[in-house]
Amino acid sequence: MAIRATLAVAVAILAGLIHVRSVSAEVEKRWTLPVPLPPQSVYLDPFSFAVIGENDTFRNNSVTGYFNPTNATAPFFQIFDPSFVTTVLGESPSIQSIAYNPGFAFAHEAPIYVPELDEVFFTSNDGGTLGYSNWYNNSVVGKISMTEVESAVSAAGTTPANVNVQVTELPLADTIQMTNGGTGPYYGNLVLVTSGRALFPPSLALVNPNPPYNVTVLLDNYFGRQFNSLNDVKIHRQSGNIFFTDPTYGYLNQFRPAPGLPTQVYRYNPATGAVKVVADGFNKCNGVAFNPSETVAYVTDTGVSGGFEGFDQTLPATIYAFDIDPLTQAFTNRRVFAYADAGVPDGIQVDSLGNVYSGCGDGIQVWNSEGTLIGKFFLNSTSANMIFAGPGRLVILDETTIYLARIQAQGIDLAYP
């Protein structure tokens, strides 16, 4: 018996050693980074901060305190996994500012890239700091020319070169009040969702991207009841249906009456005019996006950010993933996809390989399709959204500044048809 026990222990120890060596080899293989690092990059091995220790300094605020242990100067690329380099950044990424106005949060949300015009459209902050929009004042929809950006950068003669191109404001009809989400093009038009303002109802609308910027409102109620304050929108290209979120930020930012509906995700069918709820149970549903095959939906919950109610770090700062029912298109099998370590995950985009990008408290955070944080476009300030503006160009909205990141990754096609 003693001999058998001894053999059993020896076998167990040997198996353990083999397992440890196997895991070590796999870790060594996985965490091998290109040398040298890409430009403007910092690598943080997760093992280097897995244990901080009681005598070190912990973060106690995700809203005002960001994770930058190397104290690198923003903007830069913060790498946690080699796949951030191989699938997102590439060998020679760069990041630079291309438009800025320190006194006005002109670049907040609703980014839309129109390839035919080579222009990016966006909206100013609705109800937030430096947005200058409130119960009595509307937000502003603007655009920049990427052709002008490329010309300005080329004229600067250095890479990356910070430039400041002109922002053109769109004179939209009064039916467009407090735009917060956008996507498309949809049959050549911009798709906007508005939060509404005062007695103006929230709405889903189409806007011609060319002058005189004609507006067509598709939907402004749920069976006679006003929505709370529509926030984000995406087109499900396989079906042609339009999905949008409806949190309570209009009320929390004090430019809408008290909410009268739950915070929900809706589907609008342009062919029939039918609207239905596809997901609920959120604190404040916000951004929405689909994976490349359009079988999975991502919805961000920005519960931490409560407007005049302040911040509550015990509420969600979470991206949820759902399966899309092929028959009803209801969002099913809800599960946590990721949790943002800084601020809240706001707007959300997905690249062609399935990596998920979201605007957070410290910039743009990127997770792989398994929900592991692989890297950040670290800006040291809050970014609400971003958009791929053609191959290898990621345009980042950072309230008073717009950044252009030149990277390897490409976005998925958001246009319909």
Contacts of 68 (CB under 8 A, 6+ apart): 78, 362, 378, 380
Is the peptide bond between 259 and the residue preceding it cis, with omega within 30 degrees of 0? no
Query: Would 63 be classed as within a structural domain?
Result: no
Which of 401, 404, 362, 403 shows the shortest CA–CA distance to 107? 401
3-state secondary structure (DSSP) of residue 89? helix
Residue the block writes with tokens 């949008």: 244
Contacts of 270 (CB under 8 A, 6+ apart): 218, 240, 241, 242
Q: CB 94: neighbour CB atoms within 10 A?
A: 18
Q: CB 106: neighbour CB atoms within 10 A?
A: 26
Write the DSSP symbol of residue 282: -
CATH number for the domain spanning 273: value is 2.120.10.30
For position 22, what pLDDT does the model report?
Answer: 40
Query: Would 32 be classed as within a structural domain?
Result: no
d(CA 134, CA 127): 5
Q: Which helix (H) or strand (E) holds 265?
A: strand 264-268
Q: What is the dihedral of CA 252, 255, 257, 263, to 10 degrees?
A: -50
Query: Would 232 be classed as within a structural domain?
Result: yes
Give how far Cα 175 sits from Cα of 108, 199, 215, 223, 266, Å.
Answer: 20, 11, 8, 19, 21
Supply the DSSP string of 136-160, one letter for each residue: TB---EEEEEHHHHHHHHHHH-SSS
Query: Chain centroid to CA 44: how far?
Result: 22
For position 15, what pLDDT does the model report?
Answer: 42
The model's pTM? 0.93
Q: What would the two tokens of residue 195 be?
A: 């939060």
Query: Would 373 be classed as within a structural domain?
Result: yes
Note down pLDDT in tens along the chain; length 417 residues. 444 444 443 444 344 433 333 434 444 444 567 668 999 999 999 999 999 998 888 999 999 999 999 999 999 999 999 999 999 999 999 999 999 999 999 999 999 999 999 999 999 999 999 999 999 999 999 999 999 999 999 999 887 999 999 999 999 999 999 999 999 999 999 999 999 999 999 999 999 999 999 999 999 999 999 999 999 999 999 999 999 999 999 999 999 999 999 999 999 999 999 999 999 999 999 999 999 999 999 999 999 999 999 999 999 999 999 999 999 999 999 999 999 999 999 999 999 999 999 999 999 999 999 999 999 999 999 999 999 999 999 999 999 999 999 999 999 999 999
Which of 185, 176, 208 shows the shortest CA–CA distance to 113? 185
190 HSE (CA, 13 A, CB side): 32
Write the DSSP symbol of residue 9: H
Query: Would 40 be classed as within a structural domain?
Result: no
Query: Would 171 be classed as within a structural domain?
Result: yes
Query: Would 417 be classed as within a structural domain?
Result: no
Contacts of 307 (CB under 8 A, 6+ apart): 127, 249, 251, 252, 253, 254
3-state secondary structure (DSSP) of residue 21? helix
Is the peptide bond between 417 and the residue preceding it cis, with omega within 30 degrees of 0? yes
Which of 232, 137, 120 shows the shortest CA–CA distance to 177? 137
End-to-end CA distance of the chain: 74
Domain count, the chain: 1
Q: Domain containing 141: what range?
A: 76-406
Query: Would 24 be classed as within a structural domain?
Result: no
110 close to 138: Cβ distance less than 8 angstroms: no
Burial of 187-224, coded b for 16+ CB within 10 Å and e otherwise, reads eebbbbbbbbbeebbbbbbbbebeeeeebeebbbebee
111 close to 399: Cβ distance less than 8 angstroms: no
Give how far Cα 364 sits from Cα of 376, 378, 397, Å.
Answer: 6, 7, 10
Q: 310's torsion region: left (phi>0), alpha (psi -120 to 50) or beta?
A: left
224 HSE (CA, 13 A, CB side): 0
What strands, in cross-sheet order, belong to the sheet with 215-219? 179-186, 189-194, 203-207, 215-219
